[in-house]
Amino acid sequence: MIYLPDTNVLIGVITNRKPYAALLERLLSEHHLLATCSVIVSEIYNGMRPAEEAKTHTLLERLEFLPTTFEIARQGGMIRRDFARRGRTLTLADTSIAATAMAYKCTLITENTRDFPLPELHLLAP
C-alpha cells in the first residue's frame, strides 16, 4: 500500500513535536511505500527553518516522489471548483494533494481530515 503523509505529519517528524516518526517507521517495517508530491514538498520548504534544512532534505529524499500530471492538476482544480459551487471553500493545495492521493491510490495520512471531505479518498488520522 502507498501512504502519502500530509504536510502536517512531515512537519511533526521534522520538528519532533508529534510522534509521527514511529508511525512512518512502522509502515515502512510493514513494507508499505511512503510517498510525497510537489505540493507537499513546496509547503514543507516554504515553512522550513534554516536549522531544519538537513533533516528536511534527508526525510524528503527517502520518500517516493509522485509526479503531478496534467490530469491530476485538472482534477485538483475541479474538486476545488465543485466544492466552491456548493458553498465550501477548500484550498488549492489540499485539493491538489487529494487529487494526487486518489490518482496513485494512496492513503493520505493527515491531522486535518476535515480539509479532505471526499468520500473516495482514503484517510488515516494519526
Domain boundaries, the chain: 6-14+22-124
Placement of cell 466544492 in the chain: 83
**pTM of the complete model:** 0.95
Distance CA 122, CA 98 (A): 9
| Residue 18 pLDDT grade (very low, low, confident, very high; cuts 50, 70, 90) | confident
Q: Which percentage of the chain shows pLDDT scores above 90?
A: 96
pLDDT digits (tens, 9 = 90+) for 54-79: 999 999 999 999 999 999 999 999 99
Above 90 in pLDDT, residue 20? yes
Number of Cα atoms under 13 Å in the Cβ half of residue 112: 15
Number of Cα atoms under 13 Å in the Cβ half of residue 107: 13
**Does domain 6-14+22-124 bear CATH number 3.40.50.1010?**
yes
